[in-house]
Chain A
Amino acid sequence: MEKAIIELQNINYTYHNSEKKALSDISFKIFPGEWVAIIGHNGSGKSTVAKIMNGLLEANSGTVFINGVKMTYENVYDCRKNVGMVFQNPDNQFVGNTVEDDIAFGLENNGIPREEMLIRIEDALKRVKMTGFETREPARLSGGQKQRVAIAGIIALSPKVIILDESTSMLDPEGRLEVIQTIEELHQTKNMTVISITHDINEASRADKIIMMNQGQVDQIGTPDEIFKIGLELVEKGLDVPFSEKLKYELAQKGINVPTEYMDEERLVDWIWKYLLNT
Chain B
Amino acid sequence: MLNQVLLGRYIQGDSFIHRLDSRTKLLATFFFIFIIFLANNWVTYALLFAFVFLAIYLSQIPVNFFVKGIKPLLWIIIFTVGLQMFFTTGGTTYFQWHFIQITSFGIVNACYIFMRFVLIIVMSTLLTLTTPPLSLADSIEAILKPLEKIKFPVHELALMLSIAFRFVPTLMDEAQKIMNAQRARGVEFGEGSLVQQIKAVIPILVPLFVSAFNRALDLSLAMEARGYQGGEGRTKFRVLKYGKHDVYVFVAMSCLTMALVYLRG
- Which residues does A use to contact B, with CB under 8 Å? 51, 54, 56, 77, 80-81, 84-85, 87, 89, 91-98, 100-101, 104-114, 117, 137-139, 153-154, 157
Contact = CB atoms under 8 A, between A and B. Distances in A.
Given A95-B166, A101-B134, A85 B225 contact: yes
B7 to A, nearest CB: 15
Interface of B: 132-134, 162-163, 165-166, 169-170, 173, 214-215, 218-219, 221-229, 233-239
Contacts of B225: 54, 56, 80, 84-85, 87
Contacts of B221: 51, 56, 87
Contacts of B134: 97-98, 101
A130 B173 CA distance: 24
B48 to A, nearest CB: 34
Given A56-B225, A85-B225, A97-B165, A114 B219 contact: no
* A97, A105, A154 — most chain B CB neighbours (10 Å): A97
A89 B169 CA distance: 16
B235 A111 contact: yes
B73 to A, nearest CB: 27
B237 A138 contact: no
B166 A97 contact: yes
Given A95-B222, A106-B226, A138-B166, A101 B237 contact: yes
26 contacts: A56-B221, A56-B224, A80-B227, A85-B222, A87-B218, A87-B222, A89-B218, A91-B170, A92-B218, A95-B163, A97-B133, A97-B166, A101-B134, A104-B237, A104-B238, A106-B227, A108-B234, A108-B235, A109-B234, A111-B233, A114-B235, A138-B170, A139-B169, A154-B226, A157-B226, A157-B227
Contacts of A97: 132-134, 162, 165-166
